[in-house]
Amino acid sequence: MGKPRWYNEAACIGADLEEFFSISGEQRPAVIDVYCAQCPVRPECLQFALDTHNYHGVWGGTTPAERKRERDRRRRGARAA
Ligand code: SF4
């Protein structure tokens, strides 16, 4: 799978992506504040990670643990609807 179209506008283009993927659980790396906080495609990035069940790294300025909670929240919302 290639890079999604929105990635062309990502604030992290050219950054050392190792920093985005060398995290786990609740750990919030500095790249979230440095890059994601000002990223114009943050919502698209988060949605992509949720849609593709991406469990590693920083996506949309979230940690893996935050995305798991968001997935669970959405699942509960879908069941209640
Ligand atoms: S939200 Fe963060 S990880 Fe996602 S594209 Fe933007 S800078 Fe990169």
C-alpha span between 18 and 43 (Å, rounded):
21
Per the prediction, the chain carries an average pLDDT of 91
Amino acid at 75: R
Interval 13-41: pLDDT, tens: 999 989 998 887 678 899 999 999 999 99
Task: Yes or no: say if 60 and 43 are a contact pair by the CB < 8 Å rule.
Answer: yes
Quote the ligand 1 centre to 37 CA distance (angstroms): 8
Burial 4-43 (b: 16+ CB within 10 A, else e): eebeeebbbeeeeeebbeebeeeeebebbeebbeebebbe
Quote the ligand 1 centre to 33 CA distance (angstroms): 10
Whole-model pTM: value is 0.88
Ligand 1 interacting residues, C-beta cut-off 6 A: 10-12, 20, 35-36, 39, 41-42, 45, 58-61
Task: Yes or no: say if 14 and 39 are a contact pair by the CB < 8 Å rule.
Answer: no
